[in-house]
């Protein structure tokens, strides 16, 4: 339909409250963007459209919009004689709202400089005005000394070379997302906040501490408990303040300022245990030794974790023999947060293949989750077969206090597994490190599933029946590559 003006009124359905600042996006029959605007305090916006535009879509979303928020979008009849317009309001559109992306003009392809004229220069002048050019520029499309000075001021503020000419860099910076607006920080409440107190100021502090990396995340319940206090102390330490856990004006102002340092995540201790070594080659295949593969891979994982600020301890870093009891002892003495033993599997059959990860027979759910975190990442790189997470009574798992896993990085007795091991070597090392980082940062166990240990007689089909799901769901959730399960295998079951 053709129309020149569109009056959009946004109200909530049940009480007809006006929705201020609702974002309106108008597009044509091909869903081509025509214009957008925000409703005023009365929930109203009049939009002027260029003649001939055929409007069919009006989408509306509101800040923090939940689906139910906008119940009613009205286009006033007096303006729109060609109804019906297709109306849409969607929570998905909030993405658009949170970060409105105007359609920016493309770089004109020529460097704009003093003395030039044209519509591109008028666009630049208009944009500089929006960004606070002072004094305001005439948007006359004529690149004079005032425009040049404003360009230089903008360049200086944006970390660009302040040469006063608009090349592609300056153009693209000018016509990019709005520079982040200065946040309006809450003022100091006038009283020192300390443990035991409650109130909205404390909720603001909790929220801010979370933004700054409080670990574990704080409940923003406005109640100043020991967790909040610990986070305040960590923040104070990171910012050179007296670490007393009390929020006086100094700590408050440091919290609510742009320059404050985030709370550093404390380093975790990871013990990497390269299987076998010295006179114990582990499994062999031709001249290939398990003990070499495990050491090589472990040594590749170590620096990736160290680069993440983690403390990494190797049970061996060279080709030496280390007793099994010693490996667990190293982990226990260092109070490790996570223990990973790296091996290669082997079989009499050269057909046997695949990657699997073991946890102890009585491993708790956090250790199982850790094992899945690592295995999932490896499977995502690509494996011949995902044999899953399985419970096993290995000495290093039995005797280690930390959550422990024993990873079998494919069969050394299978050509293809060896090929994958070599081809994907760096990707596997990164995947293992990433899985470990994920495991270390997990605060809560995921709620989407529970762990079930397969017993004799179980099949994927019988488990799907029992837990009211389908084989496919279980296969996907566990990234399984076969339909068979083995006794002791741990499965993620949706629930
Ligand atoms: Zn081994």
CATH code, domain with 281: 3.40.630.40
Shortest CA distance to 300 belongs to which of 312, 290, 282, 289?
A: 312
For 75-124, the pLDDT digits (tens) are 443 333 222 233 334 333 333 333 334 557 788 888 999 999 998 999 99
pLDDT computed for residue 211 by the predictor: 83
Per-residue confidence (pLDDT) for residue 415, from 0 to 100: 97
How confident is the model at residue 6, as a pLDDT? 66
- 229-263 per-position pLDDT tens digit: 989 998 998 888 898 999 998 898 888 876 678 88
Same domain, 139 and 261: no
Residue 109 lies in a domain: no
Out of 23-27, 257-261, 451-455, the most confident range is 451-455
Rg (CA), the chain: 31
d(CA 490, CA 96): 42
In a domain, 478, yes or no: yes
**pLDDT at 423 > cutoff 90:** yes
Judge if 315 and 303 occupy the same domain. Answer: yes
Decide: 450 and 493 in contact? Cβ < 8 Å.
yes
pLDDT at residue 397 greater than cutoff 80: yes
Q: How many folded domains does the chain comprise?
A: 5
For residue 86, the model assigns a pLDDT of: 34
State the pLDDT at residue 447: 66
Residue 345 CA to ligand 1 center (angstroms) comes to: 6
Q: Is the same domain home to 198 and 257?
A: yes
Q: CA–CA separation, 442 vs 444, rounded Å?
A: 6
pLDDT of residue 2: 44
Mean pLDDT across the stretch 449-473? 94
| CA 156 distance to own-chain centroid | 32
Does 145 lie in the same domain as 42? no
* Residue 435 and residue 306 share a domain: yes
Q: What is the CATH number of the domain that holds 483?
A: 3.10.350.10
Tell whether 106 is covered by a domain.
no
Confidence of residue 30 (pLDDT cuts 50, 70, 90): low
Quick check: is 340 in a domain? yes
CA of 385 to the centre of ligand 1 (A): 18
Across 291-308, average pLDDT: 93
Strand pairing class (386-391; 355-359): parallel
**With 50 as the cut, is the pLDDT of residue 203 above it?**
yes
- 375 occurs within a structural domain: yes
Q: How far apart are CA 379 and CA 407, in angstroms?
A: 12
Determine the angle formed by the axes of helices 425-441 and 365-381, rounding to 10 degrees: 150
Q: Is 224 found in the same domain as 254? A: yes
Catalytic residues: 408
At residue 11 the predicted structure's pLDDT band, cuts being 50, 70 and 90, is low
Q: Does one domain contain both 351 and 422?
A: yes
pLDDT in tens, 153-199: 787 777 777 788 999 888 888 887 655 333 456 778 888 999 999 99
Residue where a domain terminates, one of 420, 441, 462:
441
What range does the domain containing 234 cover?
A: 183-265
Average pLDDT of the chain?
82
CA–CA dist 438, 122 (Å, integer): 50
CA of 344 relative to ligand 1 center, distance in Å: 5
If we measure between CA atoms, which residue out of 346, 280, 337 comes closest to residue 305?
A: 337
- Mean pLDDT of the 192-220 span: 88
Q: Please tell me the predicted confidence (pLDDT) of residue 54.
A: 54
pTM of the model: 0.54
260 plus 388 within the same structural domain: no
Using a pLDDT cut of 90, give the percent of the chain over it.
51
Residues 317 and 373 in one domain: yes
In a domain, 104, yes or no: no
Is the residue at 27 inside a domain? Answer: yes
Closest CA to 270 of 214, 350, 340, 348: 340
Q: Is the pLDDT of residue 141 over 50?
A: yes
Q: For residue 264, give both structure tokens.
A: 């550093």
231 is a domain residue: yes
Residue 17 has pLDDT above 70, yes or no: no
pLDDT category of residue 57 using cuts at 50, 70 and 90: low
Give the list of residues 6+ apart from residue 134 with CB closer than 8 angstroms, or none.
Answer: none
Place of tokens 């975790």: 268
Please classify residue 218 by burial: count the beta carbons closer than 10 Å to its beta carbon, then call 0-12 exposed, 13-18 middle and 19+ buried: buried
How far does the centroid of ligand 1 lie from the alpha carbon of residue 210, in Å?
A: 42
Residues 304 and 419 in one domain: yes
As a residue count, the chain comes to 495
Domain match, 432 and 313 both:
yes
Task: List residues, by chain if needed, whose CB lies under 5 Å from ion ligand 1.
Answer: 275, 282, 343
Of 209, 234, 265, the position where a domain reaches its end is 265
Q: What six digits make up the tokens of 294? A: 């495990």
Least confident of 9-13, 58-62, 176-180, 369-373: 176-180
Separation of 275 CA from ligand 1 center, angstroms? 5
DSSP lists the bridge partners of residue 142 as 117
Same domain for 14 and 94, yes or no, is yes
CATH of the domain at 145: 1.10.101.10
Q: 280 in helix, strand or coil?
A: strand
404 has pLDDT over 90: yes
pLDDT of 410 reads: 97
d(CA 44, CA 37): 10
C-alpha 183 – ligand 1 centre gap (Å): 56
Flag the least confident range among 66-80, 277-291, 313-327, 424-438. 66-80
3-state secondary structure of 53: coil
10's enclosing H/E stretch is strand 5-11
N- to C-terminal Cα separation, the chain: 49
């Amino acid at each position: 339909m053709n129309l020149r003006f569109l009056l959009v009124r946004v109200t909530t359905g049940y009480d007809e409250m006006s929705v201020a600042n609702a974002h309106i996006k108008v597009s044509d029959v091909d869903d081509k963007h025509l214009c957008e605007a925000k409703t005023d305090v009365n929930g109203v916006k009049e939009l002027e459209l260029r003649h001939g535009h055929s409007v069919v879509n009006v989408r509306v979303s509101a800040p923090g919009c939940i689906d139910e928020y906008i119940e009613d979008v009205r286009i006033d009849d007096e303006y729109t004689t060609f109804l019906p317009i297709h109306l849409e309001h969607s929570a998905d559109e909030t993405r658009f709202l949170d970060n409105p992306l105007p359609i920016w003009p493309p770089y004109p392809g020529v460097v704009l400089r003093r003395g030039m004229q044209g519509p591109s220069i008028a666009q630049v002048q208009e944009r500089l005005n929006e960004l606070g050019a002072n004094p305001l520029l005439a948007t006359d499309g004529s690149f004079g000394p005032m425009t040049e000075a404003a360009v230089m001021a903008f360049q200086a503020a944006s970390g660009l070379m302040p040469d006063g000419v608009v090349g592609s860099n300056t153009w693209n910076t000018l016509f990019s997302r709005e520079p982040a607006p200065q946040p309006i920080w809450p003022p100091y409440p006038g009283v020192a906040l300390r443990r035991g107190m409650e109130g909205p100021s404390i909720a603001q502090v909790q929220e801010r501490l979370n933004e700054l990396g409080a670990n574990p995340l704080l409940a923003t319940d406005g109640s100043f408990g020991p967790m909040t206090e610990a986070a305040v102390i960590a923040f104070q330490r990171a910012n050179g303040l007296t670490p007393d856990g009390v929020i006086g004006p100094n700590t408050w102002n440091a919290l609510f300022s742009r320059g404050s340092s985030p709370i550093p995540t404390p380093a975790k201790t990871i013990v990497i245990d390269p299987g076998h070594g010295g006179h114990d080659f582990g499994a062999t295949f031709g001249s290939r030794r398990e003990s070499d593969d495990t050491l090589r891979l472990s040594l590749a994982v170590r620096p990736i974790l160290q680069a993440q600020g983690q403390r990494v301890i190797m049970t061996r870093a060279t080709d030496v023999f280390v007793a099994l009891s010693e490996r667990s002892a190293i982990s226990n003495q260092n109070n490790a947060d996570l223990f990973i033993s790296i091996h290669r599997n082997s079989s009499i059959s050269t057909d046997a293949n695949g990657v699997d990860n073991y946890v102890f027979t009585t491993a708790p759910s956090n250790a199982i989750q850790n094992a899945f975190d690592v295995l999932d990442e490896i499977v995502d790189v690509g494996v011949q077969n995902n044999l899953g997470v399985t419970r096993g009574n290995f000495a290093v798992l039995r005797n280690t206090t930390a959550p422990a896993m024993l990873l079998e990085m494919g069969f050394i007795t299978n050509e293809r597994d060896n090929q994958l091991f070599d081809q994907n070597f760096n990707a596997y090392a990164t995947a293992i490190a990433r899985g470990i980082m994920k495991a270390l940062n997990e605060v809560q166990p995921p709620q989407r599933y529970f762990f079930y240990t397969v017993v004799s007689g179980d099949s994927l089909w019988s488990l799907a029946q029992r837990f009211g799901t389908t084989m496919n769901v279980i296969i996907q959730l566990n990234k399984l590559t076969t339909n068979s399960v083995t006794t002791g295998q741990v499965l993620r079951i949706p629930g």
